[in-house]
Structure 1
Amino acid sequence: MLVMRPAQMADLSEVQRLAADSPIGVTSLPDDAGRLSDKIAASEASFAAEVIFNGEESYFFVLEDLAAGRLLGCSAIVASAGYSEPFYSFRNETFVHASRELKIHNKIHVLSQCHDLTGNSLLTSFYVVPELVRSPWSELNSRARLLFMAAHPERFAESVVTEIVGYSDENGDSPFWDAIGRNFFNVNYAEAERLCGLKSRTFLAELMPHYPIYVPLLPDAAQEAMGQVHPRAQITFDILMREGFETDHYIDVFDGGPTLHARVSSIRSIAQSQVAPLQVSSAASSGGRPWLLSNGQLQDYRATVAELDWAPGQPLVLAPALAAALKVGEGDNLRLVAV
């Protein structure tokens, strides 16, 4: 059985193993024990804190195989993007160049660096082992964060964003970075992302052009890379698009990958999730359709996937082993949404 739970410091070596295999561009998962230790410590403090509005908190989750005691994925939520440092994006805009005398009216696509998305909650640090891609466990690893947000709305903003890793080739080169960022910071894309993971993205973003970039002046390869998704990031992109996230308005300042945005009230796993009381029974049926289940707690938050024959308005009947894995008992409420 696989269960999603808050990360603990004892998970550090396993988390670093996951980070080492994550694709270039996931700077929130640096292959560095010190940074990962700080990330877990900040998460533990956030889960323990009493919170009445979103601030500097961050929540880091891991996906554990309970039988093997092995981690198979991770994901996180930052309560407020840009709380301690600016959160930069490129905003897609259209400039109009017109000459009344020549009767010319041109619309030009430009990119403007901005921090419009500062203050939104941020989904980050998604990784799942290759054998679980396109399985219900990938859905759990991504969407159980949203069930946590539904259970604790006071801890998060009214809107959510996430940066999807953009296109880079098999050598780790990004045509978008080579066309823009490399002119202002002379390192290749892989090294730029490594530095961001070890330090922060802000110091590099501050070296990027703060004036509009005219897209038609960029090389064709850079233009084609804008809004494109790295193959290994396609799974999280697809899951969140099905959740109701929107794209096209913003892209990443380094690799040109899409930045997704959604109002919390319109996210499927939040808007369509339901709460049901638990009945524990050894006679619980194991058939039906798959559901994401979560217990709605904080430090003891647990979530998993189970096949259930359940109808709205009815109690949720679970076997004792499943109830124990979710750290719930008779009469407790569970939040669930269809996979």
Structure 2
Amino acid sequence: MHILRPIKSTDFDALRQIAEESGHGFTSLPVNDDMLREKINRSEQSFIKQISTPQDEGYLFVLEDSETGDIMGTTAIEAAVGMTVPLYHYHQGKTVHHSPTLGVYNTVDILSMCNDYTGASEICTLFLREPYRKGLAGRFLSRSRFTFMADHSDRFSNTVIAEMRGVSDENGHSPFWQWLQEHFFSIEFPQADHLVGLGEKVFISELMPKYPIYANLLSEKAQAVIGNVHEKTKPALRLLEKEGFEHRGYVDLFDAGPTVEARLHNIQTVQDSSVAKVNICEPTGTGSLAISNQKLNDFRATFTEEALYHPQNNTLDLHPNVANALNVTSGDNVRIFKL
């Protein structure tokens, strides 16, 4: 059985393995022991905080195979980004150069640096290890975080964003960054990417051009990748688009990957999910259901065919083994959605 739960300090070795496997461009999991331990500790503290508005919390989850104890993957939610360390994006816009006298009318694409997503909640750090990328595990890992947000909506902003990894080669070099490096920086993309992962972002405000950049001045290769995602990120983007996430012109400063957004209450999984009362028995299921226990620090979620939902009275027949894995008993409420 696959169980999604909050990360614990004992998961450090597994998280470090995931950080190594995730590769270049996955800035939210730097291969740095101190930073990874800090992420785990921050997550543990976030889950036990008593709060009523989103602040600087980070909720980190792991997907565990309950039979083997293997950690299959991870995902995370940042409650409110940009509150302590500025969050920068480029916004794609246009400017017009018009001369009626000369009969000239030119529309030019521009990139303007901004902090427009300050205070938004961010879903991030979604990674499923290679041996487990089959079946429903990836879809479950992506969608179940939305049920956690729905059940604890006071901890999150109504604007939810996801920064998608932009285009880079097998060595981690970004065509977009290469142009910026040539004109404004003197460091390679992997180094800049690593600094961001470590939270050292002051160099952005120090060296990044303050005025809008005319996109047609960039190299052809740099222009071609603006708003496009890394090949390995395309499945994750498709899942988010099905949830209702849209790209509204914001791209990453370094690799120009798109940032997509949605309103929490409009996310498809939130709209399609239902709250049901548990009845423990041995049902014959009719398809895979994802189930979360609606708890906070003791949050658990899984997907199973050993469950049967009765919409007429909002009850869920649940096998004892699944109920035990979710730490629920008869009469408890759970949130469910069809996977």
Task: Tell me which interval the TM-score lies in, with the shorter structure as reference length.
Answer: over 0.9
Equivalent in the alignment of 1:299? 297
Q: List gaps (5 residues or longer) in structure 1.
A: none
Question: CA contact under 8 A between 2:64 and 2:71: conserved in structure 1?
Answer: yes
Equivalent in the alignment of 1:161? 161
1:135 Cα offset (Å): 3.2
Other structure's SS at 1:80 match: coil
Other structure's SS at 2:288 match: strand
Q: Under a length normalisation based on structure 1, what TM-score does the superposition of the two structures give?
A: 0.96
- Matching residue's letter, 1:306: T
Equivalent in the alignment of 2:311? 312
Change (3 A) 1:218 1:335: same
Show the 5 A alignment for 1:115-130.
115-130=115-130
Show the 5 A alignment for 1:24-103.
24-103=24-103
1:131 Cα offset (Å): 3.1
- Could you tell me how far apart the structure 2 residues matched to 1:155 and 1:291 are? 26
Q: Under a length normalisation based on structure 2, what TM-score does the superposition of the two structures give?
A: 0.96
1:116 Cα offset (Å): 0.4
Show the 5 A alignment for 1:224-303.
224-281=224-281, 283-285=282-284, 287-303=285-301
- Matching residue's letter, 1:331: G
Show the 5 A alignment for 1:208-219.
208-219=208-219
Question: CA contact under 8 A between 1:269 and 1:337: conserved in structure 2?
Answer: yes
- Could you tell me how far apart the structure 2 residues matched to 1:237 and 1:121 are? 17
- Matching residue's letter, 1:137: A
- Matching residue's letter, 2:51: V
1:57 Cα offset (Å): 0.9
1:142 Cα offset (Å): 1.6
Equivalent in the alignment of 2:12? 12
- Matching residue's letter, 1:164: M
Q: Deviations over 1:257-316 (max 9, x none)?
A: 0101111121111122110000111x221x422222111100100111122443423411
- Could you tell me how far apart the structure 1 residues matched to 2:144 and 2:336 are? 10
Q: Is 1:187 the equivalent of 2:190?
A: no
Identity of aligned residues (%): 38
Question: CA contact under 8 A between 2:121 and 2:161: conserved in structure 1?
Answer: yes
- Matching residue's letter, 1:284: P
Question: CA contact under 8 A between 1:182 and 1:188: conserved in structure 2?
Answer: no
Q: Is 1:132 the equivalent of 2:101?
A: no
Change (3 A) 1:202 1:277: farther
Q: How many residues align?
A: 337
Change (3 A) 1:133 1:204: farther
Change (3 A) 1:273 1:198: same
- Could you tell me how far apart the structure 2 residues matched to 1:211 and 1:36 are? 35
Equivalent in the alignment of 1:322? 322
**Aligned-pair Cα RMSD in Å:** 1.4
Change (3 A) 1:181 1:328: farther
- Could you tell me how far apart the structure 2 residues matched to 1:75 and 1:288 are? 28
Question: CA contact under 8 A between 2:283 and 2:308: conserved in structure 1?
Answer: no
1:73 Cα offset (Å): 0.5
Equivalent in the alignment of 2:174? 174
1:195 Cα offset (Å): 2.1
Q: Deviations over 1:230-283 (max 9, x none)?
A: 1222222111111000014101001010101111121111122110000111x2
Other structure's SS at 1:259 match: strand
Q: Deviations over 1:172-229 (max 9, x none)?
A: 2110110124532312212221222224344335421121011111111111111111
1:96 Cα offset (Å): 1.0
Other structure's SS at 1:25 match: coil
Q: List gaps (5 residues or longer) in structure 2.
A: none
Greater than 4 Å deviation, 4+ residue runs: none
- Could you tell me how far apart the structure 1 residues matched to 2:293 and 2:206 are? 42
- Matching residue's letter, 1:27: T
Q: Deviations over 1:34-86 (max 9, x none)?
A: 10110011111110000100011110001111111111101111100101011
- Matching residue's letter, 1:193: D
Question: CA contact under 8 A between 1:140 and 1:303: conserved in structure 2?
Answer: no
- Could you tell me how far apart the structure 1 residues matched to 2:308 and 2:205 are? 50
1:133 Cα offset (Å): 3.0
Change (3 A) 1:97 1:62: same
- Could you tell me how far apart the structure 2 residues matched to 1:183 and 1:43 are? 39
- Could you tell me how far apart the structure 1 residues matched to 2:310 and 2:23 are? 40
